Amino acid sequence: MPKADLEALRREVSRLERGSSPIVSGRFSTGSAELDKALQGGLNHGALHEIFAAATADEPSASGFAVALVVRASEERPVVWVRQDFAGVEAGEVYAPGLAELGLSPDRLILVRARDGPAVLRAGEEASRCPPLGAVLIEPWGAPKALDLVASRRLALAAARSNVPLFMVRAGAQPASSAALTRWRVRSALSVALDAEAPGRPAFEVELLRDRAGAAGRKWTLEWDRDQRTFRHLGDRGVPALSGGMVSLPPGGSPDEVGERRAV
pLDDT values of the chain reduced to their tens digit, one per residue, 264 residues: 455 544 654 554 454 444 444 444 589 999 999 999 999 899 999 999 999 999 999 999 999 999 999 999 998 999 999 999 999 888 889 999 999 999 999 999 999 999 999 999 999 999 999 999 999 999 999 999 999 999 999 999 999 999 999 999 999 999 999 999 999 999 999 888 777 776 789 999 999 999 977 778 889 999 999 999 999 988 644 444 444 443 444 455 544 444 444 444
pLDDT at 248: 44
CATH at residue 59: 3.40.50.300
Backbone phi, psi, residue 126, to 5°: -65, -45
With respect to residue 252, please indicate whether it lies within any of the assigned structural domains: yes
Give the pLDDT score at 26: 87
At 215 the pLDDT is 73
- Domain assignment of residue 12, yes or no: no
Q: What is the reported pLDDT for 186?
A: 97
In a domain, 43, yes or no: yes
- Within-domain flag for 4: no
Q: Taking a C-beta distance cutoff of 8 angstroms, is the pair 145, 116 a contact?
A: no
Q: How many C-beta atoms lie closer than 10 Å to residue 141's C-beta?
A: 25
Tell me whether residue 218 is in a domain: yes
pLDDT of residue 190: 87
Domains of the chain: total: 1
Domain-embedded: residue 11: no
Q: Which residues contact 75 (CB under 8 A, 6 or more apart)?
A: 134
Neighbouring residues of 237: CB distance < 8 A, sequence distance ≥ 6:
192, 221
Nearest to 168 by CA among 188, 187, 145, 143: 143
- CA–CA distance, 235 with 226 (Å, rounded to integer): 19
- Domain membership of residue 51 (yes or no) is yes
Residue 85: name the closest of 57, 119, 51 by CA: 119
Domain that holds residue 84: 17-263
Is residue 194 in a domain?
A: yes
| CB 49, CB 165: distance < 8 Å | yes
Q: Which long-range contacts (CB under 8 A, 24 or more apart) does 230-235 make?
A: 230/30, 230/31, 230/32, 230/72, 231/30, 231/31, 231/32, 231/35, 231/68, 231/72, 232/31, 232/32, 233/32, 233/33, 233/34, 233/35, 234/189, 234/192, 234/203, 235/34
Q: Residue 9: its pLDDT value, please? A: 47
From the list 182, 183, 186, the residue with the least C-alpha distance to 220 is 186
